Amino acid sequence: MLILGLSAFAHDSAAALFRDGEIACMAEEERWNREKHTGAFPLGAIGSCLAEAGVAAGAVDRVAFFLRPDLVGARLDAVARDFWPRSALATARGGALLAALEPRLRAGLAEAGIGAPVAFVEHHLAHAASAFLLSPFERAAILTADGKGEWSSTTLGRGEGTRVSIHEEILFPHSLGYLYSVVTKWLGFHPWGGEGKVQGLAAYGEPRFVPELRRLLLPNEDGSFRLDLQFFRHHLGLPWISRPLARLLGPPRSPDAPLEQRHEDVAASLQAVLEEALLRLATRLRAVSGEPRLCCAGGVFLNSTSNARLRDSGIYEDVFVQPVSHDAGAALGAALAVHAEEGGARPAPLAELTLGPALSDDEAARALVGSGLEVTRCEDPTEPAARLLAEGRVIGWVQGRLEVGPRALGARSILADPRRAEMKDLVNERVKKREPFRPFAPAVLAEKCAEWFERPGPFPWMIVCVPVRRDRRAQIPAVVHQDGTARVQTVDARTQPLFHRLISRFEAATGVPVLLNTSFNLRGEPMVRGAEDAVSCMLRTDLEHLFVGGWWARKPRAPAP
């Protein structure tokens, strides 16, 4: 049985192909059309999944779509009724999008050559299935949270075996995702993409605006919440920043204006209020479900700081956060939900995120020929790469299958020496070309994690922040956040043998089993897909060394080690 899961027409479009209940391939469309967070139909991603799995489009048995149009219609009717006439613009826009959804989906599938029947899966059920059915738990509580699905923004549920059920939900316009995104907009960043910047900025601030932000998010006695809608306009289709919000927090920041202390403090306060809300929900869910383990998904759970707070709270014995928690991951969940509904067995627990198409040696050679780069064939690229890193050079690293999700995990990465404090500014300014406050993550040998961080791991997906041991912080300053934590990635020799060997060689040269690891892309661009994108990115930055498969490329001015 071949099931193709899809997310499309919102943001973070993706395709996930399951063969007999196991993931054969997954890809995000932004890596093909080069539009970050694209909502386009994932034609390129579908084609790559079919090619990687070696199957024809006509072999797909079912298509699972991550949204139910009928529930979208019910939400539009409710918003129109409850907020009329102010909701007229949002209702008209939403109605037009809804009317076009199914025709656009059918046209996209036809272009891809797929004629299989389509199952429409409720959005938060897809998130919940992606969390529980890929977890290592036989039974668990399930918490999902994002901006909105069809109507739900937050759900509380439970999973057992292959059964996933949702017991309680919080409905749009009340939403933790929209709370965070509206303040993201106030801070001068773009919603549905800039939230990670706000999380990074929060580490520099003091939460002195918590009383003001608590006025936006009102807790209920049962642990749920509601927004004070006088401060919000997202449900009305109007500009995001309301006059009451501007009076409460002050004038919004222009995207090109300097960041001030108050902006950092608002970000820190927003982070604190989000964490309070998640802890209340988690406490409520533990009480009603009775389950000692928790699974989480939805865009809110890309926030590694709040994930750490939830994990360390002691409310649950164990917490699994699905690492592709945004809407791309709902493509996984939609396919899993359909597979389970048809009586299929649970897949193996998620073990790695290199689920995309593999880099071929021919592709690498084609991209490098005529690039103007000096190219050398490497039998083992980890040897020269480790020497360059130990000397303080920044390198591009493109190896194996493409990752899915927003984090680079050693397949499409920019790597540097974490011992050098100046690396943070150098990589931000000269390579990534992004804001100077943006942090970087450490990739550490899994077996050495407890020697450098205050939790033993494993943390394979950069989805939680972990305190760096106090006696180690000065040794790896380029990857330590302002608050002494790091969004750590543990690298296991079994699942990532090449990346593990590279870090091991770096350790042999420096005594430090840690590398600075960040996604291979420029500010505002998606992560590179393969060799061609990597070469293009390299030529537009100060990056001087690139390892693609078994090839080492360097700019003519870059000396060999």
**Catalytic residue numbers, as ranges:** 11
Contact 532, 367 (CB under 8 A): yes
Which one, of 68, 66, 65, 31, lies nearest residue 47 by Cα? 31
Contact 310, 301 (CB under 8 A): no
Distances (CA, A) of 69 to 100, 115, 297, 428: 10, 20, 21, 42
Distances (CA, A) of 217 to 149, 195, 304, 487: 19, 17, 21, 27
Which one, of 313, 325, 322, 324, lies nearest residue 285 by Cα? 313
Q: Are strands 118-120 and 441-445 parallel, antiparallel or unpaired?
A: unpaired
Contact 164, 125 (CB under 8 A): yes
Which one, of 72, 77, 103, 104, lies nearest residue 91 by Cα? 77
End-to-end CA distance of the chain: 51
Residue 261, token pair as written in the block: 């202390």
Output the 3-class SS for 215-242.
Answer: CCEEECCCCCEEECHHHCCHHHCCCCCC
Q: Does the N-terminal peptide bond of residue 85 adopt cis geometry, omega within 30 degrees of 0?
A: yes
Which one, of 7, 30, 27, lies nearest residue 17 by Cα? 27
**What's the alpha-carbon Rg for the chain, to the nearest Å?**
23
Which one, of 213, 10, 275, 250, lies nearest residue 123 by Cα? 10
- What percentage of the chain's residues is helix, strand, coil (to nearest 5)? 40, 20, 40
H/E stretch holding 53: helix 43-53
Residue 326, token pair as written in the block: 């945004």
In the 8-state DSSP scheme, what is residue 344?
Answer: P
